[in-house]
Amino acid sequence: MDTIRIAIEKDIAPCARLLGVLFGQEQEFTPDALVQERGLGMIIGHPSTGTVFVCERDGAIVGMVALLNTVSTALGSRVAILEDMVVAPDCRGQGLGSRLIEHAAEWAESQGFGRITLLTDGGNEGAHRFYAGKGFTRSEMAVFRKLL
């Protein structure tokens, strides 16, 4: 049976392994387990920063999604940035990603968040269709980054 729950400290290493899968398929990121563990440690156990949800099956973490907290002055409310949505390759196509997104969205709404924003690779049409099917709409905003 699959369980979706908020991640705890012992979940950091298995989540970092999942991020290795995700970052191995994304154009702008490179897997680095130590870096990913450090980043997860900045979120997990620190609810003012964000919340990581994991899907656990038979004691193993097989999926995850993170919501990072910020504020929208346009909405006058807390909003979340959805990051790091990934399901283990051997568990894909079973509805786990849908369950994770729906759980995270319901949780965010119950906590008073006014919006969830996410980014995907520009050419990842499969991800675009997936998120559109979950009620996300494409923004006309352009993403700019400056590494520091």
Q: What is the mean pLDDT of the chain?
A: 95
- How many whole angstroms separate alpha carbon 108 and alpha carbon 101? 10
23-75 per-position pLDDT tens digit: 988 778 889 999 999 999 999 999 999 999 999 999 999 999 999 999 999 99
Domains and CATH numbers, the chain: 2-133 (3.40.630.30)
Cα–Cα distances in angstroms (integers) from residue 6 to residues 24, 47, 88, 99, in the given order? 24, 10, 18, 14
Q: What is the pTM of this model?
A: 0.95
- How many whole angstroms separate alpha carbon 119 and alpha carbon 42? 20
Nearest in space to 52 (alpha carbons), one of 15, 6, 108:
6
The backbone torsions φ and ψ at residue 64, rounded to the nearest 5 degrees and listed phi first, read: -160, 160
- How many whole angstroms separate alpha carbon 112 and alpha carbon 115? 9
pLDDT at residue 121, rounded to an integer = 87
pLDDT at residue 131, rounded to an integer = 96
